[in-house]
Structure 1
Amino acid sequence: MSTLPRIGQWRSLDELRALQDKQLPHTLAQATRSPFYRARFGDTPPAFEDLEFTSKQDMRDQYPFGMLAVDKSLLATYHESSGTSGQPTPSYYTVSDWTDLAERYARKWIGISSADTFLVRTPYALMITGHLAHAAARLHGATVVPGDNRSLAMPYSRVVRVLHDLEVTLSWSMPTETLLWAAAARAAGHRPETDFPKLRALFVGGEPLSAARRARISEIWGVPVVEEYGSTETGSLAGECEHGRMHLWSDRAIFEVYNPVLKTVSPEGAGQLVVTPLYREAMPLLRYNLEDNVEVSYADCPCGWLLPSVRVLGRSAFGYPVGGGTVTQARLEDLVFELPSGYEVLFWRARADPDVLRVQIEVPEAHRAAAESALTEVIRRELGVDCLVTGVAPGTLVPNHVLTGIHDVVKPRSLFGADEDWDKALLYY
């Protein structure tokens, strides 16, 4: 692998594009070693702008190793995405690929160091997310707590204990997880804003995050919330600077914006994000359409990184019709979390019926009437739809036993005593 660029190595957008242009021929040459791309264009790729998009379906069709561009013995890890299509989307990486992956993820303005204890609370299974944070933290000498979030061995009560007793300084999770931790901490008698003094930042990704929910999470825990954007197929694609803007790692990949309506491609604007990683050995991807809805801008940022910024809309851009209006999750989430924090609303759900938006919020009885009234008023005013807001008791949407329970996780066995339940034979509980 060529020497990897570092932030600050370029002094203008022209120099940034020159870095891309210098690496692109190596990327195209590596792609010709892949059976998939060799079948598509042989040993001589067309001009970059004439390349067909690579789709998610292409990757599924090439399962498991149709896109492999190195000898299989050189692979370090194999992964599959968390998609719900029913077909596996494979991804694989060499040791050199992992150097690039870990460096990109670690580009956090808050910094990662050997003084940190880093709780990784995303899946370690076939997805890359947990392994990515783990590798980045170890690259900088941090102590990793591999919490996972798909394991019965790590219920929320244990997460709270680990956060508190191990004096965790950094964490990596989906934004919703941090609200669940807060509720679980309070259920355990802790105050999130004061009882975790070593915590200095919450790294989050994996789902759209509205500005209001982000601000509420930061207020609850009293630390910055730092966003990350990427995928199992690509690793980290963008990270946040100290001014709160998400920047695409354009020194490590070429990014394009595809408008599926106009069938046009441009370097910025609104549309679907298309990415070409520039330092990929095991599985080169040429003009891979992530199908994520984004807005990309090259406007100046005070951070001085000289990288494009991106707003990731994802499915939050999709709206449901209600009466004569349209409701999106992002906008509705903003309205919910713009309620006064004293109402203690953390969890909500909504259903877009044809004529009315039905919303439920968990809220203590003392604040229920005020919260219902305030949210009803703002939804009707801001979204222009009829709504029915219902406050429900805490524990209705997120049951208390989920926050406080401890699972009995044991190793499987086959021999039981006369008074034991042998239906548990061979199984983990």
Structure 2
Amino acid sequence: MSLYTGLVSSVLFPLHEKLKKHDTLAIRKSLEQSQWLSADQLHDLQAKRLSAFVENIYRHVPYYRQVMEERQLTPADIQNAGDLRKLPFLSKNLIREHFEALKSDIAGPLNRFNTGGSSGQPLIFLLGNERVSHDVAEKWRATRWWGVDIGDREIVAWGSPIELGAQDKIRLARDKLFRSELIPAFDMTREKLLGFIERIRQVKPAMLFGYPSVFDLLAKTAEQNDIRMDNLGIRVAFVTSERLYPYQRENISRVFGCPVANGYGGRDAGFIAHECPQGGMHLSFEDIVVEIVDPQGTPLPPGQSGEIVVTHLGTSEFPFVRYRTGDIAALSDKACGCGRGLPMLESIEGRSTDFVVAADGTMMHGLALIYILRDMEGVDAFKITQESLQHTHVDLVVKTGLTDKMTQRVQDGFKARLGQGVDISVCEVSEIPAEKSGKYRYVVSKVAS
């Protein structure tokens, strides 16, 4: 660690967080101790936090006081993760309907946030200092697993209008002090991509942080233009906010000459899991209770895929209790070679809309279609939209023009998976635009949602 990084991580950033009334430093230190506890000790710790959390929201959050009274429950009835099943799921629609009643009557200052709305209408919700402190601490702990600390040079590829809109003089000065530089993930033209690549070469960051789709695109652009990126001393590419596909991991790692660390979570659900250098996708177990449920809401055992449901214990001011994320994953019952007691996710399979449904009702991951296009020579970019069981549309960006042979290959491959009677329309486009959030979605199913 350089002297400057040490100054930032131990003095300047903690001071910054203290001035913002965040408890980030104390939480991170606590997390770095608790991560080495045994599984039984961690479950006891989580249960104590959950009990205090439920007591708090019962007393101070009108919505949950009403829900529990209607079910004839008291805080004493919910003492561990299994007891959470006595409470109803929380959906985006319920948050919209009971927005005011979800505010704690003892909440401090709350700020409005929203999701990107990539799978439908954006969700507006509130975050307080408690939640922000825990989220920052969780990310901080995870990046330190990879030998990167606050104050090390960092390039962030992000596209949220919230982050970009906050780039005022104070924010810019702060980022410069902490040696973090943002490249906006919008309008990724060839000229801008080459400019971003040159900036990364100039900065020589210790860490890349952002969307996997953007770093995959930067990697491909660098390779196509014979620009070497694996000699910059980058220690890790930390990717989040989108599904990380295996081919993206391989491409980013090869071109930038560094390991890729996956981080899973969302602005609404928080930082749910982070990958360690041994490959374990560790849950933020001290802060978040994770359930995996089937379509009927029944909890599933480790190894079985279902929807991720989270209860964030750092949200007492605007609670997220049994919140349905719409994402699909499976829990693991294995121990990680890193020695941390934190439980893990076995797999993260993406949003429900990342799946497609065949004409006979069979559900499959979008990768079944993606790999047809990934293997096609001349295809630079694509987007698959399943409009209905009988119609799927494919947009292609091709190097030398879309040929009848290419169209036929796409149609044959897709029909083999979706059904011979399914209409597959193929269209050549000049570019695949990002979502409003700056993310790229390769598969969108209006049937699986």
TM-score scaled by structure 2? 0.69
Residue in structure 2 matched with residue 175 of structure 1 by the alignment: 212
Provide the rounded CA distance (Å) in 1 between the counterparts of 2:87 and 2:201.
51
Query: Which of 91, 96, 99 is the aligned partner of 1:55?
Result: 91
Provide the rounded CA distance (Å) in 2 between the counterparts of 1:186 and 1:212.
15
Residue in structure 1 matched with residue 247 of structure 2 by the alignment: 212
SS in 1 for 2:95: helix
Query: Which of 287, 292, 295 is the aligned partner of 2:327?
Result: 292
Higher mean Cα deviation, 380-389 or 172-181? 380-389
**Per-residue deviation, 1:359:** 6.0
**Per-residue deviation, 1:324:** 9.8
SS in 2 for 1:349: strand
**Per-residue deviation, 1:230:** 0.8
CA shift in 2, pair 1:70/1:160, >3 Å: farther
SS in 2 for 1:37: helix
Residue in structure 1 matched with residue 181 of structure 2 by the alignment: 145
**Per-residue deviation, 1:206:** 2.0
Identity %: 20
SS in 2 for 1:236: strand
Provide the rounded CA distance (Å) in 1 between the counterparts of 2:193 and 2:276.
30
Provide the rounded CA distance (Å) in 1 between the counterparts of 2:37 and 2:127.
33
Aligned length: 380
Provide the rounded CA distance (Å) in 1 between the counterparts of 2:261 and 2:271.
13
Residue in structure 2 matched with residue 27 of structure 1 by the alignment: 53
**Per-residue deviation, 1:372:** 6.0
CA shift in 2, pair 1:322/1:281, >3 Å: closer
**Per-residue deviation, 1:76:** 5.8
**Per-residue deviation, 1:160:** 2.9
Provide the rounded CA distance (Å) in 2 between the counterparts of 1:146 and 1:345.
29
Amino acid at match of 2:322: R
Cα pair 1:67 1:283 within 8 Å, conserved:
yes
Cα pair 1:249 1:307 within 8 Å, conserved:
yes
**1:278-337 CA distance string (max 9 Å, x none):** 233422222222232211112222222223322222236522326997663223334554
Provide the rounded CA distance (Å) in 2 between the counterparts of 1:231 and 1:165.
31
Provide the rounded CA distance (Å) in 1 between the counterparts of 2:312 and 2:243.
23
Aligned positions of 1:79-118 closer than 5 A: 79-83=113-117, 85-86=120-121, 88-94=123-129, 96-106=130-140, 107-108=142-143, 109-114=145-150, 116-118=152-154
CA shift in 2, pair 1:77/1:174, >3 Å: same
Provide the rounded CA distance (Å) in 2 between the counterparts of 1:58 and 1:126.
24
Query: Which of 298, 306, 321 is the aligned partner of 1:271?
Result: 306
SS in 2 for 1:209: coil
**1:194-223 CA distance string (max 9 Å, x none):** 5x6133322212222222332123223332
Provide the rounded CA distance (Å) in 2 between the counterparts of 1:103 and 1:193.
30
CA shift in 2, pair 1:89/1:214, >3 Å: same
SS in 2 for 1:79: strand
CA shift in 2, pair 1:66/1:190, >3 Å: farther
Residue in structure 2 matched with residue 397 of structure 1 by the alignment: 431
Structure 2 segments unaligned to the other structure (5+ residues): 1-22, 434-449
Amino acid at match of 2:290: F
CA shift in 2, pair 1:90/1:384, >3 Å: closer
CA RMSD of aligned residues (A): 4.4
CA shift in 2, pair 1:151/1:317, >3 Å: closer
Provide the rounded CA distance (Å) in 2 between the counterparts of 1:260 and 1:101.
29
Residue in structure 1 matched with residue 336 of structure 2 by the alignment: 301
**1:105-130 CA distance string (max 9 Å, x none):** 221332322552212222453489x9
Provide the rounded CA distance (Å) in 2 between the counterparts of 1:150 and 1:41.
45
Cα pair 2:213 2:248 within 8 Å, conserved:
no
- 2:146 matches 1:78: no
**Per-residue deviation, 1:186:** 6.2
CA shift in 2, pair 1:249/1:327, >3 Å: closer
CA shift in 2, pair 1:330/1:205, >3 Å: farther
- Greater helix percent: which structure? 2
Residue in structure 2 matched with residue 423 of structure 1 by the alignment: none
Residue in structure 2 matched with residue 417 of structure 1 by the alignment: none
Structure 1 segments unaligned to the other structure (5+ residues): 400-429
Provide the rounded CA distance (Å) in 2 between the counterparts of 1:60 and 1:280.
17
Amino acid at match of 2:32: R
**Per-residue deviation, 1:37:** 1.4
**1:4-45 CA distance string (max 9 Å, x none):** 433555542211111111211211122121222123225934
CA shift in 2, pair 1:222/1:31, >3 Å: same
Higher mean Cα deviation, 99-108 or 75-84? 75-84
Cα pair 1:239 1:247 within 8 Å, conserved:
yes
CA shift in 2, pair 1:348/1:266, >3 Å: closer
Cα pair 1:349 1:359 within 8 Å, conserved:
yes
- 2:222 matches 1:226: no
Residue in structure 1 matched with residue 369 of structure 2 by the alignment: 332
Provide the rounded CA distance (Å) in 2 between the counterparts of 1:320 and 1:381.
12
SS in 1 for 2:101: coil
- 2:266 matches 1:236: no
Provide the rounded CA distance (Å) in 1 between the counterparts of 2:92 and 2:427.
41
Amino acid at match of 2:74: T
**1:357-413 CA distance string (max 9 Å, x none):** 8767656569x99x969x8799589958679999999x94359xxxxxxxxxxxxxx
Query: Which of 24, 35, 44 is the aligned partner of 2:74?
Result: 44
Cα pair 1:78 1:126 within 8 Å, conserved:
no
CA shift in 2, pair 1:143/1:190, >3 Å: farther
Query: Which of 133, 136, 159 is the aligned partner of 2:196?
Result: 159
Provide the rounded CA distance (Å) in 2 between the counterparts of 1:193 and 1:372.
32
